[in-house]
Amino acid sequence: MKRLAIVGALVVAALAVAVYRAKLGAEETQGRIDELKAQVAEEEKSIAGLRADEAVLTRPERIGVIAQQQLGLQPASPGQYTASEALKQKLGEEKVTLPVPADTAQAQTQAQLPGIQAPGAKPQQQ
Amino acid sequence: MRSYAAPYEDVWGPRRGRIVAAALALVFVVIVGRAAYVSFNGPDRSAVPVAKAEVARRADIVDRKGELLATTITGKSLAVDPSAVWESRDVVAAIRSVFPELGEDALTAMMADRKRQFVWVKRGLTDDQAKALKATGVEGLMFVEEPQRVYPNGRLAGHFLGYTGVDGEGLEGIERIYDARLKLGGSALKLSLDASVQFVLEEELDRAFADFDMKGAAGIVVDANTGEVRAIASWPFMDPRQRGDQSDEAKTNRALNSRMELGSIYKPLTVAAALEAGVLQPTDRFDVSKPIKIGAVTVKDAHPLEHASSVSVTDILAYSSNIGSAEIAQRMGPQTQRVFLGKVGLLTGLKQDGPQWATPLLPARWDQTALATVAYGHGISVSPMAFAMTYLPFANGGEYVTPTFVEPLNAETVKRTRVMSAQTAASVLGMLRTTVTTGSGKNADAKGYEVAGKTGTAEKPGPNGYDADRNITSFAAIFPASRPQYVVLVVLDEAQPRTGVNRTAAFTSATIAGKVIARAAPLLDVRPVLEVAATKSVVEAQ
């Protein structure tokens, strides 16, 4: 009888401890979740603020003035467009040479000159 | 001696104790378990009201490309705790050093009730204001974090967007119309507007004021095929950041809520109605050399046409002959005219959810007098938005399309109604192009964009009849004429050139419309039509 009571008491105590631990763990997890939720909310607030700042900085009336005054840009005019037919005509009439960056041009020149091998290049098979 | 054996065998004897012990143990376990549950189990979180109510963040409003037009950020508001204020004069002085517009007496009265612990003073502080107030160091001030609706693009599309009150409820414009949707939070409400085009339209209306002393203006850009409104503006502009604290002139949305007699931009509708009714051929000629009396009015032309005894239908539009328009209208009669205008949405309000336009003011009796005056845009007042939609059929092959203000475009809610044949649409469109190349619309001819359009100059009605000194000038345009994509309407209210005397639409609204088209077309990805010199052919830019 006594043994049974002791065993029962121990079981109850063990259960109580288990419940306590589970509850404590859940509380801690819940606390962490709350903390993360608060952090997410703060980040969302921050993002909303940053998006608003971005929208203020990129609004057309600001960008337009900067583009005009600092970069000399103007709204596109029909004269800046061309038709493919017109381009073909133009290419037929005159040889178009596109500008090449200086360092690229130098490397290309060295590689293309007869008898001169570009640095690091394998000898060409004839 | 009688021996008594046990009267019965006590079979439960040895077990009774165990059963009782087990029962007691069970009760004990239940009690201890419940106690443990009560001890360790915290209050149910869901049952306790959260001190800070979890209200969904009001959804953003963006343009069709995702540009932010309205958003909600966390800002600070100023409150005061009167019970914590020792010297109210210092607190009042501190508050007024940042907000001088707040009355001293009102603030003092606010501090007087020492039983109160919270009184709002000013909602929606800027960072600088909050810093300045904190720097005063006075007691009793409270800075409360709360959601604030902000409009990063300032006054851009202000009338259309509307604004919210300090508590976040939509009070005007899109903010009011879609208040329930926005309050739910979630994804942004995407408008059909294009912020860049809206900016161009507003800037050109604003610049118009530099050239013309004007009372007001409205401008609209609509996709001719889908009815999507790409820009809608009313000048003077309304700044949603001021939450309605502006003059009535600024608060009036002329594009949607004003009704105007728009004048000769109705003439293409008269021509189209007559063509559809089969009472007019594009090749017909008219004698417009003399005023004609129809009903109670005598119709005259402000500027007599050359060869007025025999002018074409195209001439009537290109040189804006009132006489010619009235003669065309006479052929079809009032009923046909009225039915046609009903088909293009000019006789009723807008029958769909979302932004609405003002219901029109129509002639009390649609008789011969109304027939003649309506033929050239008098005696009928509609909103500019309603009128802009009437030009879509000329541009899209003859279909009236209901306007769309919010994306995504819902094909089910967009109503397309055939109101004229493709042939009629093409015929009128050609006449409108001629109006711009050789007629009254020359100033609207944005190079490369083949503008087709019609001018309208209407005298404003006054107490003593129409006032020749006060005009509504308008220009309704379609571009590019060879492959129409957009309809533009510009309306100026009492535009008086600051230099010169020409105040007709040909010199006012047509000029502004041309500037809007020249700048908006590249933003709308409309490629100019270019002439290739060598072949003399016309091609579209790639």
The string of pLDDT tens digits covering residues A31-83 is 999 999 999 989 988 999 999 999 999 998 899 899 999 999 988 777 787 77
Torsion sign (Cα): B325, B328, B329, B330: positive
Which residues of chain B does A82 touch, with a Cβ-Cβ cutoff of 8 Å?
530, 541-542
pLDDT at A87: 74
**Phi-psi category of B186—alpha, beta or left, where left has phi over 0 and alpha has psi -120 to 50?**
left
Per-residue 3-state assignment (H helix, E strand, C coil) for B16-52? HHHHHHHHHHHHHHHHHHHHHHHHHCCCCHHHCCCCC
B 412-431: CB under 8 A from A:
none
**Is pLDDT of A23 > 70?**
yes
Partners of B32 on chain A (C-beta within 8 Å) are 12, 16
Between chains, do B29 and A85 touch, taking CB under 8 Å as contact? no
Q: Enumerate residue ranges in chain B where pLDDT < 50.
A: 1, 46-53, 534-536
Q: Which residues of B touch A11 (CB under 8 A)?
A: 29
Residue A84, domain member (yes or no): no
Answer with the residue of higher pLDDT: A107 or B233.
B233
Q: What is the DSSP string of B385-433?
A: HHHHHHTHHHHHTSEEE--B-BSSP-TTT--EEE-S-HHHHHHHHHHHH
Q: Which residues pair with B120 in a beta bridge?
A: B79
User: Maximum distance among all alpha carbons in chain B?
Assistant: 160
- CA–CA separation, B377 vs B456, rounded Å? 8
Q: Which two tokens stand for residue A42?
A: 């703060």
Classify residue B361 by its DSSP letter.
B
Residues 6+ positions from A115 with CB-CB distance below 8 Å: none
Query: Are B371 and B330 a contacting pair, CB within 8 Å?
Result: yes
Residues of chain A with C-beta less than 8 angstroms from the C-beta of B57: 44, 48
Query: To probe the interface with A, which of B15, B41, B73 has the most A CB atoms within 10 Å?
Result: B73
Q: What is the number of structural domains in chain A?
A: 1
Closest chain B residue by Cα to residue A63 = B196
Cβ of residue A29 closer than 8 Å to a chain B Cβ: no
Please name the residues between 27 and 86 in chain B that touch chain A, using a CB distance below 8 Å.
28-29, 32-33, 36-37, 40-42, 45, 57, 67-68, 71-74
Q: Do A52 and B68 touch (CB under 8 A)?
A: yes
Nearest CA in chain B to A76: B522
Tokens 């046409």 locate to B305
In 3-state terms, what secondary structure has residue B328? Answer: helix
What DSSP line would sit under A39-75, residue for residue? HHHHHHHHHHHHHHHHHHHT-HHHHHHHHHHHH----
Half-sphere exposure of B333 (CA within 13 A, CB side): 5
Least Cα separation, residue A19 to chain B (angstroms): 8
Cα separation, B446 vs B488, whole angstroms: 13
Put residue A100 in one of left, alpha, beta given phi > 0 → left and psi -120 to 50 → alpha.
Answer: beta
For strand B189-190 and strand B61-62, is the pairing parallel, antiparallel, or unpaired? parallel
- What spatial distance separates the first Cα and last Cα of chain A, rounded to whole Å? 106
Q: Tell me whether B154 touches chain A (CB under 8 Å).
A: yes
In three-state secondary structure terms, A1 is coil
Q: What is the pLDDT of residue B53?
A: 45
CATH no., domain B61-191: 3.90.1310.10
pLDDT bracket for residue A118 (50, 70, 90) = very low
Point out which residues pair with B35 in neighbouring strands.
Answer: none
pLDDT band at A126 (very low <50, low <70, confident <90, very high): very low
pLDDT at residue number B415: 86
Q: In whole angstroms, what is the distance from residue B64 CA to residue B193 CA?
A: 6
Of B57, B73, B534, nearest to A49 by CB-CB distance is B73
Q: Is B247 a catalytic residue?
A: no
Residue holding tokens 């907000």? B99
Distances (CA, A) of B27 to B30, B35, B170, B449: 5, 12, 60, 92
Give contacts of B542 with chain A, Cβ < 8 Å.
82-84, 87
CA nearest to B66, candidates B156, B192, B186, B178: B192
- Alpha-carbon A68 to chain mean position: 28
CB contact under 8 A, A76 and B518: no
Domain that holds residue A34: 1-73
**Residue B504 Ramachandran class (φ > 0 left, ψ -120 to 50 alpha, else beta):** beta
- A-proximal residues of B, 195-254, CB under 8 Å: 195-196, 199, 203
Token look-up 């996709």 returns: B223
Q: With left for phi above 0 and alpha for psi between -120 and 50, is residue A29 left, alpha or beta?
A: alpha
**C-alpha distance from B535 to closest chain A C-alpha (Å):** 9
- Using alpha carbons, select from B448, B435, B459 the residue that is nearest to residue B510: B435
Cross-chain Cβ contact B29/A11 below 8 Å: yes
Please, which residues have CB within 8 angstroms of residue B164's CB and are 6 or more apart in sequence? Answer: B58, B149, B170, B171, B175, B243
- Catalytic option among B264, B321, B383, B440: B264
Nearest residue in chain B measured CA to CA from A89: B534
Contacts of A5 in chain B (CB under 8 A): 21, 25
Q: With 80 as the cut, is the pLDDT of residue A1 above it? A: no
- CA neighbours within 13 Å on the CB side: how many for B196? 15
Residue B413 has which token pair? 């809610």
> For strand B416-418 and strand B452-462, is the pairing parallel, antiparallel, or unpaired?
unpaired
Matching fold, domains B61-191 and B198-540: no
Looking at the DSSP bridge assignments, the partners of residue B456 are B474
Instruction: Count the Cβ atoms, other than its own, within 10 Å of residue A47.
Output: 11
CA distance to partner chain A, nearest, from residue B204 (Å):
12
**Calpha distance B194→A2 (Å, rounded):** 85
The answer to whether A4 contacts B152, with C-beta atoms less than 8 Å apart, is no
> Which fold, B198-540?
Beta-lactamase (3.40.710)
Min Cα separation A7/chain B (Å): 10
Flag whether residue A31 sits within 8 Å of chain B, measured between CB atoms: no
Amino acid at A19: V
Residues 433-462 of B with CB under 8 A from A: 446-449
Under 8 Å between Cβ of A53 and A47: no
Going by C-alpha positions, the residue among B227, B201, B196 that lies closest to residue B490 is B201
> How high is the pLDDT of residue B384?
97
ipTM value: 0.73
Interface check A121 vs B, CB under 8 A? no
Half-sphere exposure of B523 (CA within 13 A, CB side): 23
d(CA A78, CA B7): 123
The nearest CA of chain B is from the CA of A126 a distance in Å of: 44
Quote the pTM value.
0.80
Q: Is residue A101 part of a domain?
A: no
Beta bridge mates, B235: B217
A99 close to B (CB below 8 A) = no
Mutate to test the interface with B, among A54, A81, A93 (most CBs of B within 10 A): A81
Contacts of B68 in chain A (CB under 8 A): 51-52, 54-55
B42 contacts in A (CB within 8 Å)? 23, 27
User: Could you tell me how many residues make up chain A?
Assistant: 126
Flag whether residue A5 sits within 8 Å of chain B, measured between CB atoms.
yes
B266 residue type, one letter: Y
The β-bridge relationship of strands B141-150 and B119-125 is: unpaired
Q: Taking the domains of chain B in order of start, what are their residue ranges?
A: 61-191, 198-540
User: Quick one: pLDDT at residue A5?
Assistant: 81
